[in-house]
Amino acid sequence: MTDDSQRNFRSVYYEKVGFRGVEEKKSLEILLKDDRLGILPPHHESHAKVMMYRKEQYSDVLHALKVVRFVSDATPQAEVYLRMYQLESGKLPRSPSFPLEPEDEVFLAIAKAMEEMVEDSVDCYWITRRFVNQLNTKYRDSLPQLPKAFEQYLNLEDGRLLTHLKMCSAAPKLPYDLWFKRCFAGCLPESSLQRVWDKVVSGSCKILVFVAVEILLTFKIKVMALSSAEKITKFLENIPQDSSDAIVSKAIDLWHKHCGTPVHSS
């Protein structure tokens, strides 16, 4: 097993707050050598100081937003993270009443999901920020190619199902933004989502394709019974949650089947 395959998404959080569980130790040792999210330096002795700086920066930015009345104590936490991110990236709108841009909606969805995984607000903000930055930089060119890859692998797994989607004119209308831009945030429960994000953090966004393929395979009977693009899309945007863990497990198997045991398959 390679170092990368031993990574665990939740380990990223545990390391940030200084905990080392028995089952997390190996993953944490790997992360200490190579912090893939870029939040902490590689030397453990520097972590406490860096986290102190991160907390101070978080407090300063939050205070600035309160001064200009962009956020208050009543503002939902995920929205606070979004405004902090906008301010630090120079994209804060003139007024909090301005409509959100599509990229803001993506950040908000990821932040809401991250809240369920990471308890500490400072850690949650920094991990969300780095995760989104990874999507916008490392995967900037790969993400637009995923719908095409999705059709390719679905055709290999079940050509009849893909044909049905095309005959219903549903193929170009599938919830690709939900799947690939938001990385299934708002689609899968957090317990399943973190297993998918583990692979994304480790260097592969192609896992997103296989999760989408497996969703179609799992709900094939339901999808085949629907004859309009709108109904198919609506169903896929709100899939039953009780099958999520099995879907992700089978998606990982598909990923290995088609890509071997890749270290990075972006």
Higher pLDDT among residues 26 and 88, named by residue: 88
Share of residues in the chain with pLDDT > 90 (%): 76
Residue 74's region, left for phi above 0, alpha for psi from -120 to 50, else beta, is alpha
Count of C-beta atoms within a 10 Å radius of residue 193: 24
Provide the token pair at 236. 């896929």
Q: 201 is written with which tokens?
A: 């953090």
With a cut of 90, say whether residue 41 has pLDDT above it. no
> What's the confidence (pLDDT) of residue 47?
74
Residue 78, pLDDT > 50, answer: yes
Kindly report the pTM of this predicted structure: 0.82
Least confident of 30-39, 43-52, 193-202, 247-256: 30-39
> From CA 44, how far away is CA 207, in angstroms rounded?
30
Euclidean distance between CA atoms 77 and 111, whole angstroms: 9
pLDDT digits (tens, 9 = 90+) for 204-259: 899 999 999 999 999 999 999 999 999 999 999 999 999 999 999 999 999 999 98
How many other CB atoms are found less than 10 A from the CB of residue 218? 18
* Overall average pLDDT of the 102-125 stretch: 96
Sign of the CA dihedral with 199 first, then 201, 203, and 209 last? positive
pLDDT at 112 over 60: yes
